[in-house]
Amino acid sequence: MSLPKPAMRGLLAKRLRFHLPIAFALSIVAAAAFKYAVTEPRKQAYADFYKQYDAMKEFNAMKEAGIFQSVRPSGE
Protein backbone atom coordinates (compact mmCIF):
# COMPACT_ATOMS: atom_id res chain seq x y z
CA MET A 1 0.00 0.00 0.00
CA SER A 2 2.29 2.70 -1.26
CA LEU A 3 1.35 6.16 -2.36
CA PRO A 4 1.21 6.81 -6.11
CA LYS A 5 4.03 8.87 -7.51
CA PRO A 6 3.15 12.50 -8.26
CA ALA A 7 3.00 13.44 -11.94
CA MET A 8 5.87 15.89 -12.19
CA ARG A 9 6.72 15.63 -15.88
CA GLY A 10 4.91 18.35 -17.85
CA LEU A 11 3.22 19.68 -14.72
CA LEU A 12 4.01 23.34 -15.45
CA ALA A 13 2.71 23.13 -19.02
CA LYS A 14 -0.42 21.34 -17.85
CA ARG A 15 -1.10 23.93 -15.15
CA LEU A 16 -0.41 26.84 -17.53
CA ARG A 17 -2.80 25.47 -20.14
CA PHE A 18 -5.49 25.59 -17.46
CA HIS A 19 -4.64 28.80 -15.60
CA LEU A 20 -3.38 31.11 -18.36
CA PRO A 21 -6.72 31.50 -20.20
CA ILE A 22 -8.50 32.04 -16.89
CA ALA A 23 -6.00 34.73 -15.85
CA PHE A 24 -6.27 36.40 -19.25
CA ALA A 25 -10.08 36.43 -19.14
CA LEU A 26 -10.14 37.78 -15.58
CA SER A 27 -7.70 40.55 -16.48
CA ILE A 28 -9.89 41.59 -19.43
CA VAL A 29 -12.96 41.61 -17.18
CA ALA A 30 -11.14 43.66 -14.53
CA ALA A 31 -9.93 46.19 -17.12
CA ALA A 32 -13.43 46.57 -18.58
CA ALA A 33 -14.95 46.93 -15.11
CA PHE A 34 -12.40 49.62 -14.20
CA LYS A 35 -13.03 51.46 -17.46
CA TYR A 36 -16.80 51.60 -17.01
CA ALA A 37 -16.88 51.93 -13.22
CA VAL A 38 -14.11 54.52 -12.77
CA THR A 39 -12.82 56.21 -15.90
CA GLU A 40 -16.06 56.83 -17.78
CA PRO A 41 -17.82 58.50 -14.81
CA ARG A 42 -14.66 60.54 -14.16
CA LYS A 43 -14.54 61.74 -17.76
CA GLN A 44 -18.23 62.63 -17.58
CA ALA A 45 -17.72 64.53 -14.33
CA TYR A 46 -14.88 66.55 -15.88
CA ALA A 47 -16.99 67.27 -18.97
CA ASP A 48 -19.91 68.42 -16.82
CA PHE A 49 -17.64 70.62 -14.71
CA TYR A 50 -16.00 72.34 -17.66
CA LYS A 51 -19.34 72.98 -19.41
CA GLN A 52 -20.17 75.50 -16.67
CA TYR A 53 -16.62 76.61 -15.79
CA ASP A 54 -15.71 80.24 -16.39
CA ALA A 55 -11.98 80.78 -16.04
CA MET A 56 -12.20 84.57 -15.95
CA LYS A 57 -14.82 84.47 -13.20
CA GLU A 58 -12.55 82.21 -11.12
CA PHE A 59 -9.56 84.44 -11.83
CA ASN A 60 -11.44 87.54 -10.73
CA ALA A 61 -12.63 85.81 -7.56
CA MET A 62 -9.06 84.77 -6.70
CA LYS A 63 -7.77 88.24 -7.57
CA GLU A 64 -10.30 89.86 -5.24
CA ALA A 65 -9.37 87.39 -2.50
CA GLY A 66 -5.74 88.56 -2.76
CA ILE A 67 -4.26 85.18 -3.70
CA PHE A 68 -1.93 86.50 -6.40
CA GLN A 69 1.19 88.50 -5.62
CA SER A 70 1.48 89.99 -9.11
CA VAL A 71 -2.14 91.17 -9.43
CA ARG A 72 -3.64 93.59 -6.95
CA PRO A 73 -7.31 93.41 -5.92
CA SER A 74 -9.63 96.06 -7.36
CA GLY A 75 -10.01 97.84 -4.02
CA GLU A 76 -6.30 98.66 -3.68
Q: Is 52 exposed, middle or buried (0-12, 13-18, 19+ CB in 10 A)?
A: exposed
Q: Do residues 63 and 73 touch, judged by C-beta distance below 8 A?
A: yes
In total, the chain counts a number of residues equal to 76
At 76 the pLDDT is 66
Of all residues in the chain, what percent carry a pLDDT higher than 90?
74
At 73 the pLDDT is 86
Claim: this prediction has a pTM higher than 0.85: no
pLDDT in tens, 38-75: 999 999 999 999 999 999 999 999 999 999 888 888 86
Q: Do residues 71 and 63 touch, judged by C-beta distance below 8 A?
A: yes
Boundaries of every domain in the chain = 32-75
For 22, the enclosing helix (H) or strand (E) is helix 11-34
Mean pLDDT of all residues in 18-31: 98
